[in-house]
Amino acid sequence: MSEGDDQPPTEPLLAARGLAKAHGRTQALRGASVELHTGEILAVTGASGSGKSTLLHCLAGIVRPDAGSVTYAGLRLEELPEKRLSELRRTDFGVVFQFGQLVPELTALDNVALPLMLAGTDRAGARERAGEWLERFGVHGQGDLRPGEMSGGQAQRAALARALVTGPKVVFADEPTGALDSLAGEQVMTALAHTAREAGTAVLLITHDAQVAAYADREVQLRDGTVTSLEVSA
Ligand SMILES: Nc1ncnc2c1ncn2[C@@H]1O[C@H](COP(=O)(O)OP(=O)(O)OP(=O)(O)O)[C@@H](O)[C@H]1O
Ligand SMILES: [Mg+2]
């Protein structure tokens, strides 16, 4: 690996350079850089508190970093006005938060239908598509339940369906299998990887589970707010 010129041939779809972000007195990110290519599944691992969620929030344009830049499809996110940024998040990004964040008042089905309706799909059409996505993730029977009535794993699968239903270019998934046992985790990862491969969706996948990371094409590790690349283990 002494060759200096082993860059991938294409421009990355998403690239972060030198990100810094403090939460109060905690320096969560200190010069983190990472690239995500079209259609690539990238696993981000690292100890608890190493800055993984903060990195995801910065990359998805949810949190503005204190320093550094995030470039998506040639756009510098830090230069976009808030309105344009939220529009971009709606059209191009799907996010699965570490702690779910489904709308508590809505059923699973309506939670998944919501992003489609925000994008202009009529309610009946949105609910039909939402049902298909819940089915893909094995929670079709729970469509009428509200988040408070679902198990953690069911809510997590509904959150994945919600992130994918609009056909985003990038999915950011923060521990999407964290509440699942290993069999359910495998089913969810199979569905997620299949969807990504089929649609050419790039996935940034935060996980502490080596079995989950094994679904990725590449893995990087966060350590004290900076990114370390890992060699692909054959
Ligand atoms: N809103 C916040 N206010 C204060 N400190 C925060 C906040 N969010 C994160 N931190 C701190 O920033 C650091 C990085 O947090 P982050 O959530 O990014 O870590 P993580 O790698 O996702 O951890 P985990 O694996 O436990 O989810 C931690 O020390 C955390 O305590
Ligand atoms: Mg986290």
Closest Cα partner for 101 from 32, 145, 147? Answer: 147
CATH numeric code, 14-229 = 3.40.50.300
| Predicted confidence (pLDDT) per residue in 144-189, tens digit | 999 999 998 899 999 999 999 999 999 999 999 988 888 889 989 9
- Asked whether 23 lines ligand 1 (CB < 6 A), one says yes
Which of 19, 23, 27, 226 should be mutated for ligand 1, with most atoms under 8 A from CB? 23
Q: Average of pLDDT values for 197-213?
A: 94
pLDDT at 35 over 50: yes
Distance from Cα 88 to the centre of ligand 1, integer Å: 25
CA atoms of 190 and 195, how far apart (whole Å) = 8
- Asked whether 46 lines ligand 1 (CB < 6 A), one says yes
Mapped onto helix, strand or coil, the DSSP state of residue 43 is strand
More confident residue, 5 or 31: 31
Ligand 1, atom 16: closest residue by C-alpha: 51
Domain positions in the chain: 14-229
Q: Average of pLDDT values for 64-75?
A: 96
